[in-house]
C-alpha cells in the first residue's frame, strides 16, 4: 500500500485504528505527528474515541439459558443407545455418564422406553430366550489410564451386565444397541440395563 | 480477544460444540441483537449457529477459531435475513433490555438505557457492512484480522469500514456535553 500524505478521511481512519491497537509502529508515529499541536486533529481524535467508547460500553445482554446446553447429555442419550454417536462424542458421553447420576438415571429411563417399544408383540424372532454371548471386544485393552490421553483407546466405559459374578460377560457400550434388539425381543420383561456402570481399572 | 482466552489450546485441541456454546453463546447473541435490535432474531441466530458449529466442527482445522466461528455466524445471520425478507416484516421491538453487571442507580439505568437505545437505533441505520464491522469490533471484540476472515474482505477494507461506521454514528448521535 502506497503511503501518501493522509487526507482528512485517512486521518480519521488512522485515529480509529490507533485506538483499536491495529497500527504499525510507523503509523503510530505518524498519528503522533498529526496530533502534535493540531487542534482540529485533536478534536477529531477525541470524537472518534468517544464513539468507540460508547459502543464498547453498550450493556451486554444475557443469552437466554434455554439456548445453551445445560451440561447434561439430552438427546445424545438416545443416539448413544442407538449406537449413532461418532467416536469423539461417544467418548465424551461415556465420560459424562461415569460422573453424572442424573444422566445415568435418564439413560435407564430411555432404555426402558426403548425396550418397551422394541418388545411390542407381533414379531416372531425365532429366538428362545437364550442369548448367545459374544466375546468382549478387543478394545478392552488399553482402558482408561487416568487422563484424557487414554480415551483415544475408544470405549472407556464398560458395562457389567449384572448377570452372574466375576465371569459375567463384559460388553463395551457400542455393542449395546445390537444387544438390545436381540434381548428386548427375546425377553420383553427383563431390562438389559446394567446394574452398575463402572470404569474398569487400568 | 477470545483466541487469547483459548490461547494455545486451539492449536492442538478441537473444542466441542458445548465448549463453543458456553464460551461464545453470549457473544453470538449480542452480535445478532446489536445487528437486528431484536431478541427473537438473536435467539434464532444462536440456535442456528450452534447447529452449524455442531455439524461443522468435524471439518474444522485448528487455526483461527474466531475467524472460523464468526464466518459461520455471519453467514447464518445473512441466510436468516434472506429468509426473513421472503416473509412479512415484523416491527422492530423497542427497549426490552436486560441489563448486566453491578446494579447501578435507577437514574443511571434510565440514562444508560436511553443512551443505548439511541446508539442501537443509530446502529440499525448503518448500511450492513459498516454495522457488521463496528459490531464485530466494538461489541464482539474481534481484531481486524479476525473480522477480515469472518467477512472475507481484506484487512484494509475492515479498517476503513470500522472508521466510516463510527463516523456515521458520530454524526447521527448528539453527545451530551
Ligand atoms: Zn448429566
pLDDT for A52-70, tens place per residue? 999 999 999 999 988 888 8
A45 within domain boundaries: yes
Each domain of chain B, given as residue ranges in start order, spans 8-173
Please name the residues between 35 and 74 in chain A that touch chain B, using a CB distance below 8 Å.
47-48, 50-52, 54-56, 58-64, 67-69, 71
Residue holding cell 422394541? Answer: A118
CATH architecture of structural domain B8-173: Up-down Bundle (1.20)
Please name the residues between 85 and 144 in chain A that touch chain B, using a CB distance below 8 Å.
86, 88-89, 92
Contact between residue B48 and residue B145 where contact means Cβ atoms under 8 Å apart: no
Please determine, for residue B96, whether its predicted confidence score (pLDDT) is greater than 70.
no
Secondary structure of residue A137 in the 3-state scheme: coil
Shared-domain flag, residues A22 and A109: no
Shared-domain flag, residues A180 and A90: yes
- The average pLDDT across B83-112 equals 54
ipTM score for this prediction: 0.77
Shared-domain flag, residues A186 and A98: yes
Q: Do A17 and B21 touch (CB under 8 A)?
A: no
Q: Which domain holds residue A33?
A: 6-56
User: A126 vs B3, which has greater pLDDT?
Assistant: A126
The rounded distance, in Å, linking the Cα atoms of B158 and A17 is 10
Shared-domain flag, residues A97 and A26: no
- The average pLDDT across A35-49 equals 94
The rounded distance, in Å, linking the Cα atoms of A160 and A131 is 16
Shared-domain flag, residues A190 and A148: yes
User: How many C-beta atoms lie closer than 10 Å to residue A38's C-beta?
Assistant: 13
Pull the grid cell for residue B106.
435507577
Question: So what's the pLDDT on residue A49?
Answer: 94
Pull the grid cell for residue A85.
454417536
Please determine, for residue B148, whether its predicted confidence score (pLDDT) is greater than 70.
yes
Please determine, for residue B81, whether its predicted confidence score (pLDDT) is greater than 80.
yes
Shared-domain flag, residues A45 and A86: no
* B119 → closest Cβ in A1, A54, A88: A54
Please determine, for residue B30, whether its predicted confidence score (pLDDT) is greater than 90.
yes
pTM over 0.80? The answer is: no
Please determine, for residue B33, whether its predicted confidence score (pLDDT) is greater than 80.
yes
- The average pLDDT across A66-83 equals 85
Question: So what's the pLDDT on residue B145?
Answer: 95
Domain count, chain A: 2
Q: Do A17 and B163 touch (CB under 8 A)?
A: yes
User: What one-character DSSP code corresponds to residue A142?
Assistant: T
Confidence class for position B93, pLDDT limits 50, 70, 90: very low
Over the stretch A92-148, which tens digit does the pLDDT of each residue have? 889 889 999 999 999 999 999 888 888 887 756 565 555 555 555 544 333 333 333
Question: So what's the pLDDT on residue A8?
Answer: 59
Shared-domain flag, residues A83 and A158: yes
Q: Do A68 and B119 touch (CB under 8 A)?
A: no
Question: So what's the pLDDT on residue A72?
Answer: 84
Shared-domain flag, residues A51 and A80: no
Q: Do B167 and A50 touch (CB under 8 A)?
A: no
Q: What is the mean pLDDT of chain B?
A: 81
- The average pLDDT across B101-116 equals 62
Q: What is the 3-state secondary structure (H, E, C) of B106-165?
A: HHHHHHHHHHHHHHHHHHHHCCHHHHHHHHHHHHHCCCHHHHHHHHCCCHHHHHHHHHHH
Residue holding cell 497500527? Answer: A23
Over the stretch A13-35, which tens digit does the pLDDT of each residue have? 999 999 999 999 999 999 999 99
Secondary structure of residue A107 in the 3-state scheme: helix
Q: Do B30 and A17 touch (CB under 8 A)?
A: no
A63 within domain boundaries: no
Confidence class for position B119, pLDDT limits 50, 70, 90: very high
The DSSP H or E segment spanning A159 is: strand A157-160
A62 within domain boundaries: no
User: How many C-beta atoms lie closer than 10 Å to residue B106's C-beta?
Assistant: 8
- Gap between the terminal Cα atoms of chain A: 61
Q: Please name the residue of chain B whose CA is at the shortest distance from the CA of residue A68.
A: B21
* B169 → closest Cβ in A22, A51, A86: A51
User: A51 vs B87, which has greater pLDDT?
Assistant: A51
Phi and psi (nearest 5°) for A36? -70, 100
Amino acid at each position: 500500500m502506497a503511503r501518501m500524505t493522509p487526507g482528512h478521511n485517512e486521518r480519521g481512519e488512522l485515529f480509529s485504528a490507533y485506538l483499536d491497537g491495529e497500527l504499525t509502529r510507523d503509523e503510530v508515529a505518524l498519528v503522533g505527528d498529526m496530533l502534535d499541536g493540531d487542534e482540529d486533529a485533536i478534536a477529531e481524535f477525541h470524537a472518534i474515541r468517544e464513539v468507540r467508547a460508547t459502543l464498547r460500553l453498550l450493556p451486554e445482554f444475557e443469552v437466554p439459558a434455554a439456548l445453551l446446553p445445560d451440561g447434561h447429555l439430552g438427546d445424545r442419550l438416545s443416539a448413544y443407545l442407538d449406537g449413532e454417536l461418532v467416536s469423539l462424542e461417544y467418548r465424551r458421553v461415556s465420560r459424562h455418564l461415569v460422573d453424572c447420576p442424573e444422566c445415568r438415571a435418564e439413560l435407564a429411563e430411555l432404555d426402558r422406553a426403548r425396550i418397551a417399544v422394541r418388545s411390542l408383540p407381533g414379531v416372531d424372532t425365532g429366538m428362545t430366550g437364550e442369548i448367545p454371548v459374544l466375546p468382549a471386544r478387543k478394545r478392552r485393552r488399553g482402558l482408561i489410564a487416568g487422563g484424557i490421553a487414554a480415551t483415544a483407546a475408544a470405549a472407556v466405559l464398560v458395562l457389567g451386565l449384572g448377570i452372574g459374578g466375576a465371569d459375567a460377560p463384559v460388553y463395551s457400550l457400542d455393542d449395546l444397541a445390537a444387544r438390545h434388539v436381540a434381548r428386548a425381543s427375546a425377553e420383553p420383561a427383563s431390562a438389559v440395563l446394567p446394574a452398575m456402570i463402572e470404569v474398569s481399572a487400568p | 480477544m477470545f483466541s487469547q482466552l483459548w490461547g494455545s489450546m486451539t492449536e492442538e485441541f478441537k473444542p466441542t460444540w458445548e465448549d463453543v456454546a458456553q464460551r461464545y453463546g453470549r457473544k453470538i447473541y449480542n452480535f445478532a441483537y446489536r445487528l437486528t435490535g431484536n431478541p427473537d432474531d438473536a435467539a434464532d441466530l444462536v440456535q442456528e449457529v450452534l447447529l452449524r458449529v455442531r455439524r461443522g466442527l468435524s471439518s474444522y482445522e485448528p487455526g483461527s477459531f474466531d475467524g472460523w466461528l464468526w464466518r459461520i455466524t455471519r453467514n447464518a445471520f445473512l441466510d436468516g435475513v434472506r429468509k426473513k425478507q421472503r416473509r412479512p416484516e415484523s416491527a422492530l421491538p423497542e427497549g426490552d433490555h436486560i441489563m448486566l453487571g453491578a446494579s447501578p442507580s435507577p437514574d443511571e439505568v434510565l440514562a444508560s438505557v436511553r443512551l443505548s437505545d439511541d446508539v442501537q437505533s443509530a446502529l440499525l441505520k448503518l448500511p450492513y457492512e459498516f454495522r457488521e464491522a463496528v459490531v464485530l469490533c466494538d461489541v464482539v471484540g474481534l481484531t481486524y484480522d479476525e473480522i477480515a476472515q469472518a467477512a472475507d474482505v481484506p484487512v484494509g477494507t475492515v479498517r476503513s469500514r470500522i472508521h466510516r461506521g463510527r463516523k456515521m454514528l458520530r454524526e447521527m448521535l448528539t453527545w451530551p456535553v
